Amino acid sequence: MGVSFVLPRRWGRAYFALQALAGAVWWVAVFAWPLVRTSTLGALDPVPVAAADIPLFVIASAIAAAGVRTAVVIATVWTCVVSVALAVYATVSTLAGWGVLLMLAAAGCSVVALCAMLLGRLPAEWIVQGPFRFRPASAHRSTAAHVVATFGQIVVFWGFFLVVLPVVIALLESRWGFRLAFPPGAVALGAMVLILASALGIWSAISMSTRGGGTPLPVAMPNRLVVAGPYRWVRNPMALAGIVQAVAVGLLVQSWMVVAYALIGSLVWNHLVRPFEEADLAQRFGDAFEGYRRSVRCWLPRLSPWTPVGESVQSP
């Protein structure tokens, strides 16, 4: 399978130039305005921090923008180290929350820019290795075994991605001072949306495990192309359900950062994971999948259920 996301090296250089400029402006603001200093550094003394950060973040980013690979690595590693250290400080002290937010954004963008400059791409193939490598399920397992395995996967994945991670994110959001009021009715809306999205996810999982001879996870992919149930309306109903579930959880716990986590997850899945999944399906199911992909959209459901040419309408 090919590379899923190519990044021109000039994008990486442009980002590091922007980061150097932003870093310089930020340090001027830190020394010029006490509000900026306390919001981003808390009670930390800015002088020793600047002594380390200006050469390793601002100057290194500027040199990285010129195409020097060593500076790219130095700026990225330093940004990640500072992000972690500042996050620990803010969690313990409840200070410098805005500094954490800015540095986490800078760290993520720096890693992407580093990939652009050193590799010319995001190495998305790393995601689909090991336990997440695409492998067909055993043809000798019964349908009941696939259903049991699927619901086991649901318990583990929903428990981690929809309970553990959102709770941790919401707690950090509170410690870092980002809690913002949600509109009235947000909790009720979140509960209703979560129920509907969970129902879609369960319906999709049952359709996959009973019709496809496998499970939704890459470690035991279905042996047959599933175009029944919700798959007749939208091509990736489980992914759609999962993203909507996470947004609904954000409404329930009243956390903007959880909502952002859901949206970032949707971008990661759509741009980094989905191309590999669809390449695997195209390789295994050929024209049948290509016809399905042309007829059923990934995110926006059809107004009417799709039926393969030459087949009668199946009950969803």
3-class SS string, the chain: CCCCCECCHHHHHHHHHHHHHHHHHHHHHHHHCHHHHHHHHCCCCHHHHHHHHHHHHHHHHHHHHCCCHHHHHHHHHHHHHHHHHHHHHHHHHCCCHHHHHHHHHHHHHHHHHHHHHHCCECCHHHCCCHHHCCCECCCCCCHHHHHHHHHHHHHHHHHHHHHHHHHHHHHHHHHCCCCCCCCCCHHHHHHHHHHHHHHHHHHHHHHHHHHCCCCCCHHHECCCCCCCHHHHCCCCHHHHHHHHHHHHHHHHHCCHHHHHHHHHHHHHHHHHHHHHHHHHHHHHHCHHHHHHHHHCCCCCCCCCCCCCCCCCCCCC
Q: What percent of the chain has pLDDT over 70?
A: 96
pLDDT value for 310 = 53
Tokens at residue 61, please?
A: 């980013």
Q: Report pLDDT for 4.
A: 60
DSSP state at residue 157? H
296: which 2 tokens? Answer: 């059923």
Class of domain 153-295 (CATH, top level) = mainly alpha
Dihedral angle, C-alpha 197, 199, 204, 207, nearest 10 °: -170
- Would you state the pLDDT for residue 1? 45
pLDDT at position 201 is 95
Predicted TM-score (pTM) of the model is 0.88
Q: Tell me the domain boundaries of the chain.
A: 5-123, 153-295
Asked whether 220 and 132 are in contact (CB, 8 A), the reply is no
Q: What count of Cα atoms within 13 Å lies in the side-chain half-sphere of residue 25?
A: 6
pLDDT (tens place) for every residue of the chain, 316 residues total = 445 678 899 999 999 999 999 999 999 999 999 999 999 999 999 999 999 999 999 999 999 999 999 999 999 999 999 999 999 999 999 999 999 999 999 999 999 999 999 999 888 888 777 767 788 888 788 889 989 989 998 999 999 999 999 999 999 999 998 888 889 999 999 999 999 999 999 999 999 999 988 888 877 888 889 999 999 999 999 999 999 999 999 999 999 999 999 999 999 999 888 888 888 899 999 999 999 999 999 999 999 998 876 553 333 3
Q: Considering only CA atoms, which of 69, 62, 307, 261 is closest in space to residue 163?
A: 261
The pLDDT score that the predictor gives to residue 3 is 53
**Rounded-to-integer distance, Cα 78 and Cα 134, Å:** 35
Residues in the chain: 316
